[in-house]
Amino acid sequence: MRIPCPICGPRDSREFTYRGAALDRPAPDAGADAWEDYVHLRDNPAGPTLDLWYHHAGCASWLKVSRNTVTHEITGAVLAGAEDKA
Partner 1 sequence: MRIEGKGRIDRSTWYGFTFDGVHYEGHPGDTVASALLAHDVRMVGRSFKYHRPRGILTAGSAEPNALVTVGSGAHASPNERATMVELTPGLQVTSQNRWPSLGFDVLSVNDLAAPFFGAGFYYKTFMWPKAFWEKVYEPAIRRAAGLGALSGVTDPEECEKGFRFCDVLVIGAGPAGLMAAKLAAEAGADVILADEGTEPGGQLTAEVEEIDGMAAHEWAAKLWAELGAMPNVRLMLRTTVTGAYDQGTYGALERLRGHATGHGPRECFWRIAAKRAVLAAGSLERPVAFRDNDRPGIMTAGAVRAYLNRWGVSPGRNVTVFANNDDAHRTARDLVMAGVKVNAVLDARHDAPKSDDFAVIRGAQVCGSHGRKGLDGITYRTASGETTIMTDCLAVSGGWNPTVHLTCHMGGRPVWRDDILAFVPKPGAIPGMVTAGACNGAFSTAACLAEGVAAAKQAVEDLGLTAPDVTLPEAGTEAGGIFPLWAVPGKGRAWLDFQNDVTVKDVKQAATENYQSVEHMKRYTTQGMATDQGKMSSVAALAILADATGRGIPETGTTTFRPPFSPISIGALGAGSKGSGFAPQRYTTSHAATVARNAPMIEAGLWYRPSYFPQAGETTWRQSCDREVGYVRNAVGISDVTTLGKIDIQGPDAAELLDIVYTGLFSTLKVGKVRYGLMLREDGFVMDDGTTARLGENHYVMTTTTAAAGQVMAHLDFVTQVLRPDLDVSVISVTEQWAQFAVAGPKSRPLLEDLLETTLTAEDWPFMSCGPVTVGGVTGRLFRISFSGEQGWEIAVPARYGASLFDALVARAEAMGGGLYGMEALNVLRIEKGFLTHAELHGRTTAFDLGMGRMISAKKDCIGKVMAAREGLVDPGRAQLVGLKPVGEVQQLVSGAHLFREGAKIEPENDQGYVTSVCYSPTLGHSIGLAFLERGPRRYGEKIRMIDRTKGLETLCEVVNPVFFDPEGARARD
Least separation in angstroms between residue 43's CB and partner 1 is: 18
- Interface with partner 1, residue 25, by CB under 8 A: yes
At residue 41, what are phi and psi to the nearest 5 degrees?
-95, 130
Q: Applying CB under 8 A, does 50 fall inside the site for partner 1?
A: no
Q: How far are the Cα atoms of 21, 28, 45, 49 from residue 67, in angstroms, in the given order? A: 11, 30, 11, 5
Contact between 78 and 7 (Cβ < 8 Å): no
Point out which residues bind partner 1 (CB under 8 A): 1-2, 12, 17, 19, 25-26, 28, 32, 35, 38-40, 52, 54, 56, 60-62, 71-74, 79-82, 84-85
